[in-house]
A and B are shown apart, each in its own frame.
Chain A
């Protein structure tokens, strides 16, 4: 996996650099009188990411050069990428809907919709799998935990 090592290492090192150059100076706070300043531990963590990410990226790059591989590939599996991404989009959209509708009411739609997308076509299966977990949540939140409808 030299190509993925190269890019993932680069991403980790870039995040570490971003933390060192922007996040920590602006948001970690400082206390010149403290024997251990608040930015010390985040800075150590960021340096670890920079150093280790760089090593992973360099290792990947060296193997790519040895094997005469380019950093990018043309034969990307777009249907596969789409299949990997849709659950994220689905849950992301569900979270957006849940900012208006309570999960206890929206739950059956969330489960049923995903079951349909994953290929389930038996109506009794969709109905049972959508309603039973939500009924359990209702029982748990309203009667056992007494936190109300969530």
Chain B
């Protein structure tokens, strides 16, 4: 490890500007997380335009801080409202809401916060120690290996992050198709632009991300308003006996460590989102417990299991991103877009070309976790008030910021039309259970996939036998085929996906 780079990174991370940027991200994430219906990916997609004028380090740390903040904030609404801010906090509500109803809302929130922060910090440390060696190995990979790994990741995500494998692959196919719009790298000629000069640079990523994730989600939410407007909030009172105690904290530590392990494992695999991690951790904790009947009735270990895994997924999902340049979920895919906007290629090359930035981001992530703890601990009463904001107030404001995000990029009316078209597409995908995660990841990695595929074909002169000398590439091609067959058979046999949860 380059210690001078680590020292420089630490000094960059602990400046006033970093505190403001990262703290702002965590605070915004917390607020978004508390509001039911606003998810992490919605927040990141809307916030990307805000980062244009930040330095790359602060921009990326701001977005990662935002991501961490949403994960912690979503527990607040899960515990006080029984309406998780995100799907991944649904497991938290199972024990959090009954505990709050029993008169211990503050204790439940503190257990959730501490589990979140510990899970997050431990997973960040694991990320630092795993991603760097991973990236060093990945630097030895050529285009054959990268093309094979990208294809494998896409199939894996298609199979695990949505409805059936066929719907996932269809969404991926559409993402790849739209990802090829723009100037062809080799010929320099426009491809699938239909004569629109605005499409020469490809479909605008901001329009695709905000449309598919944020604007479509607001349309889904406004539709839900017709059927469900009620909300039952638990009040936070100044009860001196309602706080976490040392024996309680000590009793949840093993659960938090288990949750962190599960979350890290799930997060490192492409396609499995925090929802899978939190429910898997919750299930394992119930199974390991001597008193399984107490779960679902206000057991703090249930909250700790879910929250630690939920937060551990976020740093762990960056292992394939920093190690290989492959986004494992929507948030990571959006980070690729944010890196690209700042002119940085994420992946193993980041370690070679810009190690200071990578170390700064790691330092920023630790800082974000500490800010999250401070904000969550001292701002508990304020965040609890945000749960009272009705969704019909949130929807028009978020729609306004979606449109403003496009305007700030200077796309004008054409960009807005593309935005609403993608919002319609995202709405239909959510409605008919086509994986928008696979769509977005496919859209974002298509230029990389095509570049590696092209280099492979040119280097091999179209001779497939060359793969026999590339065992890693061959391994991933075989894995892709096996995964494809296994997931297809499973879809046909059970009619259900392996994990039906959005990997955001």
Give A residues with C-beta under 8 Å from B.
1, 4-5, 8-9, 12, 15-16, 19, 23-24, 27-29, 31, 34-36, 38-39, 41-42, 44-49, 52-53, 55-56, 59, 80, 83-84, 87-88, 91-92, 94-95, 98-99, 103, 107, 110-112, 114-115, 118-120, 125, 129, 133-134, 137, 140-141, 144-145, 147, 150
> How many chain B residues touch A (Cβ–Cβ < 8 Å)?
64
Q: Which DSSP category, helix, strand, loop or mixed, fits chain A's interface?
A: helix
Nearest CB to that of B189 among chain A residues?
Answer: A29
Is B433's beta carbon under 8 Å from chain A? Answer: yes
Given contacts A12-B174, A28-B191, A35-B462, whether A41 and B453 have CB atoms under 8 Å apart is yes
Please report the C-alpha to C-alpha distance between residue A71 and residue B209 in the assembled complex, in whole angstroms.
33
Is B32's beta carbon under 8 Å from chain A? Answer: no
Please report the C-alpha to C-alpha distance between residue A23 and residue B190 in the assembled complex, in whole angstroms.
13
Given B184, B223, B400, which contacts A84 in the complex, CB threshold below 8 Å? B223
Among the stretches B37-45, B96-104, B239-247, B416-424, the one at the interface with A is B416-424
Given contacts A48-B173, A80-B226, A111-B397, whether A31 and B186 have CB atoms under 8 Å apart is yes
Within the complex, the shortest CB–CB distance from A46 to chain B, in Å, comes to 6
Within the complex, the shortest CB–CB distance from A125 to chain B, in Å, comes to 7
A-B pair count, CB < 8 Å, reads 177
Given contacts A35-B458, A41-B446, whether A129 and B397 have CB atoms under 8 Å apart is yes
6 contacts between A and B (CB under 8 A): A34-B187, A53-B170, A56-B164, A84-B219, A118-B392, A119-B392
Give B residues with C-beta under 8 Å from A.
50, 52-53, 164, 166-167, 169-170, 172-174, 176-177, 180, 184, 186-187, 189-194, 215, 218-219, 222-223, 225-226, 392-393, 395-397, 399-401, 403-404, 407-408, 410, 412-413, 416-417, 420, 423-424, 427-428, 432-434, 446, 449-450, 453-454, 457-458, 461-462
Please report the C-alpha to C-alpha distance between residue A29 and residue B183 in the assembled complex, in whole angstroms.
10
Tell me if A87 and B192 are in contact (CB < 8 A): no
Please report the C-alpha to C-alpha distance between residue A59 and residue B177 in the assembled complex, in whole angstroms.
24
Across the interface, which residues of B come within 8 angstroms of A1, CB to CB?
432-433
Across the interface, which residues of A come within 8 angstroms of B167, CB to CB?
52, 56
Nearest CB to that of A110 among chain B residues?
Answer: B400
Q: Which DSSP category, helix, strand, loop or mixed, fits chain B's interface?
A: helix
Nearest CB to that of B177 among chain A residues?
Answer: A45
Please report the C-alpha to C-alpha distance between residue A115 and residue B223 in the assembled complex, in whole angstroms.
14
Given contacts A15-B174, A53-B170, A103-B403, whether A133 and B417 have CB atoms under 8 Å apart is no
Given contacts A27-B194, A140-B50, whether A120 and B400 have CB atoms under 8 Å apart is no
Given A29, A41, A103, A145, which contacts B176 in the complex, CB threshold below 8 Å? A41
Tell me if B396 and A12 are in contact (CB < 8 A): no
Within the complex, the shortest CB–CB distance from B160 to chain A, in Å, comes to 16
Within the complex, the shortest CB–CB distance from B381 to chain A, in Å, comes to 21
Given B192, B413, B454, B462, which contacts A42 in the complex, CB threshold below 8 Å? B192
Please report the C-alpha to C-alpha distance between residue A49 and residue B176 in the assembled complex, in whole angstroms.
10
Across the interface, which residues of B come within 8 angstroms of A92, CB to CB?
420
Tell me if B180 and A87 are in contact (CB < 8 A): no
Across the interface, which residues of A come within 8 angstroms of B428, CB to CB?
8
Please report the C-alpha to C-alpha distance between residue A119 and residue B229 in the assembled complex, in whole angstroms.
11
Nearest CB to that of B412 among chain A residues?
Answer: A99
Given A15, A24, A41, A94, which contacts B450 in the complex, CB threshold below 8 Å? A41
